[in-house]
């Protein structure tokens, strides 16, 4: 691929991204989403976060590990339980990292 073709691809991808992202601002006020779709979109951030976090929690040394030998999974479960009790996200992060560090160091 020549240098000119690479720049052409970069420019076309930038234009496509701009069109896709700005289309909601330009015509979004004219489009009404059905109530069911609006309700479903409320869960999109949580689903995206779960899709990012779960693979990391389940992977240990490049393999999926569901057992008690996976310190990330144990810390994630402990942090989830802590959050359900305390309902404080910042404390949950500290607690989860403390549990993970404690398990990793074998204290």
Q: 10-21: per-residue pLDDT in tens?
A: 999 999 999 888
Whole-number pLDDT of residue 47: 93
Question: What Cα–Cα distance (Å) separates residue 4 from each residue in 9, 12, 14?
Answer: 9, 12, 15
Residue 60 in any domain: the answer is yes
Q: CA 93, CA 100: separation in Å to the nearest integer? A: 11
Q: Enter the DSSP assignment of 30.
A: G
pTM of the full structure: 0.60
Task: Give the burial class of 60: count Cβ atoms within 10 A of its Cβ; 0-12 exposed, 13-18 middle, 19 or more buried.
Answer: middle
**Would residue 7 count as lying in a domain?**
no
Count up the domains in the chain and report the number: 1
Could you tell me if residue 78 is inside a domain?
yes
pLDDT tens digits along 38-63: 899 899 999 998 899 899 889 888 88
User: How far is the C-alpha of 80 from the C-alpha of 87, rounded, in Å?
Assistant: 10
Query: In the structure, what pLDDT confidence band is assigned to residue 24 with cuts at 50, 70 and 90?
Result: confident
Lowest mean pLDDT: which of 29-33, 66-70, 79-83? 29-33
Please report whether residue 69 resides in a domain.
yes
Structural domain containing residue 77 = 50-105
């Amino acid at each position: 691929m020549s240098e000119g073709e690479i720049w052409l691809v970069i420019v076309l991808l930038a234009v496509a991204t701009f069109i896709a992202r700005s289309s909601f601002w330009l015509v979004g006020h004219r489009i009404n989403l059905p109530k069911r779709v609006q309700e479903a979109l409320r869960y999109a951030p949580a689903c995206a976060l779960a899709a990012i976090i779960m693979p990391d929690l389940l992977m240990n040394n490049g393999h999926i590990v569901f057992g008690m030998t996976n310190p990330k999974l144990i810390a994630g479960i402990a942090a989830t339980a802590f959050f359900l009790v305390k309902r404080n996200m910042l404390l949950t992060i500290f607690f989860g990292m403390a549990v993970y560090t404690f398990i990793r160091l074998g204290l």
